[in-house]
Structure 1
Amino acid sequence: MSLEIRTLDESDVADWVRALHTGFHLAPSVTDEEVAARRVAFDLQRTRGAYDQGRCVATFRSMPRELTVPGGAFVPASAITNVSVTATHRRRDLASRLMAADLADARERGEAVAILVAAEYPIYGRFGFGPATWVADWEIDIPRAAVDHRYAGPTDGGRVDLVDVVEVRKVGPGLHERVRALTPGAISRDARWWEVATGERTFPSQPWTEPFFAVHRDAAGEVQGLLAYTTIDHPWPGKLPRVDATVRQLLAANPAAEQALWRFLLSLDWVTQLNTGHRAPDDVLPLLLGDPRAARTETLADFMWLRVLDVPAALSARTYGGAAGRLVLEVRDPAGLCGGRYLLETDAAGAAQCTPSSTESPELSLDVADLGCLYLGDESASRLAALGRVAEHRAGAVRMADALFRTARRPWCPEVF
């Protein structure tokens, strides 16, 4: 059977969206309105399909994004999404062919890394991706949380106010730009992201429910935090309140704003359960509770996976911990995109330069997928060495890698993309 892999023309979009819906177990047919709503997000040159006798049976799309790395620099990233293969066409290397074509293009465009959110853990390691950030979801039992319900607002001289979508569209993008510069693992948002998040752009297959929005302003009146949450009012057994609140997003540019927004949520009248949504795995929230055991972990799992495409560009962009150091890495890449030997040199301030090296002896060797695990600082080289996934060729090289790569707080990607 001959299966064609290619980028899309305008006439392919409706069939591609239908295949996407089929692969994601949505409605098997799509309306013109759904196609039009989704088309806005596509760069046809970055959108691919696999075709069997003219019918789309697999989908793949990528987007240009900036990824924040330790130290606050942004690196160009290819954000991969909408990967699906129709059930009738599995096990025919379609995902592999789509991925290979997109990664080669991304490397040619100068994107230093590729990133994605993995629906299933076993899929993407074979393409050179490793889990670079993790995510936690907590369910807070408010009656057991031992919080002060007399809370009357921030103690830093600021205030929390409920706002409408017009205000969110005005202040949200600028706040996010500040927050993402402080958050290794965060990615850039385009204008369309805010249109979807505020209901300006909707999809027929995903009915819009407007959340409550709140902002934190400091004593000078500057926005330092943004919150979006929804509520569900259940029947009240025995005339006791039972309302669930769910966080859609919570952004904070400093600890005072973060604590103020969490305390606002924890003090809402009638709310007995708070679902935090996706948070960093080392979020401060549980320790804000009088009884942290009231925060039940609902999810603790890998989230954003990362694949290095340009080792010198990626490793030179971030900053590193510890004292000045040097490390020679041997990177294995079966796909042939970035394998080789590289010298990483860092100064006392953490600034780095990474260059190819053909004369140095390797001190540490690893697969490109494991380099993806280490890159943002979440994984430990010592742990990977214990698993046999990192090989040490010079005594102390693993310890040096841990000192350089690890970060004080875990990286976090707030976006589903």
Structure 2
Amino acid sequence: MGADLDVRTLSASDDVGDWLRALHTGFHLGPTLTAEEIEVRAQVVDRTRTQGAFDRGRCVATFRSMPRRLTVPGGAALNASAITNVSVSATHRRRGLAGTMMAAELSAARDRGEPVAILVAAEYPIYGRFGFGPATWVANWEVDVPRAAVDRRYAGPSDGGRVDFAPLAEVRETGPGLHERVRARTPGAIDRDRVWWQIQTGERVVASRPWTEPFHVVYRDASGRVDGLVAYTTQEEHWPNKLPKVEVSVRQLIAATPAAERALWRFLLSLDWVTLIRTGYRAPDDVLPLLLGDPRAARTEALADFMWLRLLDVPAALSARTYAGGPAALRLEVLDPQGHAAGRFLLETDASGVASCAPTTAPADLTVTAADLACLYLGDESAVRLAALDRLTEHRPGAADTATALFRTPRRPWCPDIF
């Protein structure tokens, strides 16, 4: 790594400016920051969870984690280390800096009692070597509205609910509670802190993050409860041949009920002059295409891995979620070169899906790497498919079928947030 390189947590607020400049350099955001931005970020960055690599006093690599609650199948919220802001300056690559900071964070996370670590991978090949596996995927669509075969005369919900534009003050008041309801029913979702809402509603704006106020629309059920929220912006192109051509970009759409989800999508599809809707990142099995009279009008723009997960405490993580497939017992041998998740474990579930997991010395039914167990953990991957790829070893006939039935969930997990 080099004798002149010092990898450490930030020791003083003076470090934050240098650290931010290194982060902006690594992410190609430009080297100049305002004093205001440095001051704002210094207030929200937890220096005890923020690492930098310093070469002769200058920061050349960055790494940060945040405490988050991750929803797992069954609705439990698991403490997670949410890793972000990982960068290495182009002048200092291939020196083990990211690996050194990752190793320090994973050990610290386990000591803090965080059974898993999560991140959003900028590039697919990077994080598998650290024991992470893709645990959720996302899709985004471009909807050709004129071809969607939907009723453009939509006049609002027919279930007694209503759709209304909402001012920012209402979004700030009702949004956090609504999101917590959505998070609790969405495996893969994480909580949003106060700073997230400040940034998304324009309370906290810095020069490098320009903010344009979106339109906000809420769905209320018949009792008046806010069950859904959508934020969107519009872009008006020239009107070719005197025909309207307005594009809508969805910043977020969260719904605590299917009725709210349907109503908000139908509202967007009925907007006058709109010819294209960009959905932003959605669950890979989102209902949107099937809401259209012609699902082919929703063109898949991306379908890709999104949130990656790393198991640090296998018994705690596997005991936290619920399982399908009835009463079952499965013995797993987990391979982990870094040691955090290594061992042999007995997973037992009852008829209601409640589980317990503990170390065992009995022979394993399946051998799997920590990264591939992470792919299974939230229910997105199939053990049978991993076996076909020779990514797990079946020691008992039918064990992969058992694991598939246990881990899979009715809907695919989804993380709505970049972090």
328, 345, 348: which one pairs with 2:331? 328
TM-score calculated relative to the size of structure 1: 0.99
Alpha-carbon distance in 1 for matches of 2:326, 2:340: 31
Q: Which amino acid aligns with 1:193?
A: W
Identical pairs, percent: 70
Under a length normalisation based on structure 2, what TM-score does the superposition of the two structures give?
Answer: 0.99
Report the alpha carbon displacement of residue 37 of structure 1 after superposing the two structures with TM: 2.4
Structure 2 counterparts to residues 41-56 of structure 1, below 5 A: 41-56=44-59
Of residues 90-99 and 25-34 in structure 1, the stretch that sits farther from structure 2 once superposed is 25-34
Alignment of 1:221-236 (within 5 A): 221-236=224-239
How many angstroms apart in 2 are the aligned matches of 1:297 and 1:216? 26
Tell whether 2:110 aligns with 1:107: yes
Superposition RMSD on alpha carbons, in Å? 0.6
Q: Using the alignment, how far apart are the partners of 1:28 and 1:178 within structure 2?
A: 40
Choose which of 389, 393, 401 in structure 1 pairs with 2:391.
389
Q: Per the alignment, in what secondary structure is the counterpart of residue 303 of structure 2?
A: strand
CA distance in 2, matches of 1:181, 1:350: 17
AA aligned to 2:144 is: D
Q: Aligned AA for 1:31? A: T
**Structure 1 alignment gaps of length 5 or more:** none
Whole-angstrom CA distance in 2 between matches of 1:60 and 1:182: 30
Matched, 1:64 2:58: no
Shift of 1:206: 1.4
Q: Which residue of 2 aligns with 1:406?
A: 408
> Which whole-Å deviations, capped at 9, do the CAs of 1:201-255 have from their partners, x for residues lacking one?
0121111100000000000000000110000011000110000001000010110
Q: 1:328–1:342: 8 Å Cα contact kept in structure 2?
A: yes
Q: What's the CA shift string for 1:72-105, capped at 9, x where partnerless? A: 0000000000000000000000000010000100
How much does 1:397 deviate? 0.5
One-letter amino acid matched to 1:284: V
SS at match of 1:71: coil
Match of 1:121 in 2: 124
Residue type of the alignment partner of 2:188 = G
1:369 counterpart residue number: 371
What is the alpha-carbon distance in structure 2 between the residues aligned to residue 20 and residue 130 of structure 1?
24
Q: Does 1:20 align with 2:53?
A: no
Deviations 1:307-328 (CA, angstroms, capped at 9, x unpaired)? 0010000000000001100000
- Once residues 331 and 277 of structure 1 are traced to their aligned partners in structure 2, the CA distance between those partners, rounded to angstroms, is 36
* Partners of 1:92 and 1:129 in 2: CA distance: 21
Give 1:40 deviation, angstroms. Answer: 2.8
* Partner secondary structure for residue 40 of structure 1: helix
User: Within 5 Å, which residues of 2 pair with 1:184-333?
Assistant: 184-333=187-336
1:37 and 1:202 in contact (8 A); partners too: no
Distance 1:295 1:38 in 2: 39
- Following superposition, the deviation at residue 43 of structure 1 comes to 0.6
Write the distance in 2 (CA, Å) between the matches of 1:13 and 1:192: 17
In the other structure, the counterpart of 1:152 is 155
Per-residue deviation at 1:4?
A: 1.1
CA–CA distance in 2 between the matches of 1:264 and 1:40? 39
Deviation at 1:29, TM superposition (A): 2.1
The answer to whether the Cα contact below 8 Å between 1:137 and 1:276 also exists between their aligned partners in 2 is yes
Contact 1:129 / 1:307 at 8 angstroms: preserved in 2?
Answer: yes
- What whole-Å deviation, never above 9, does each CA across 1:118-152 have from its counterpart, x for those lacking one? 00000000000000000000000001001101100
Paired amino acid for 1:324: P
Give the Cα separation in 2 of the matches to 1:40 and 1:370.
37
Find the aligned partners of 2:43 and 2:144 in 1 and give their Cα distance.
41
Distance 2:263 2:233 in 1: 18
Aligned length: 416
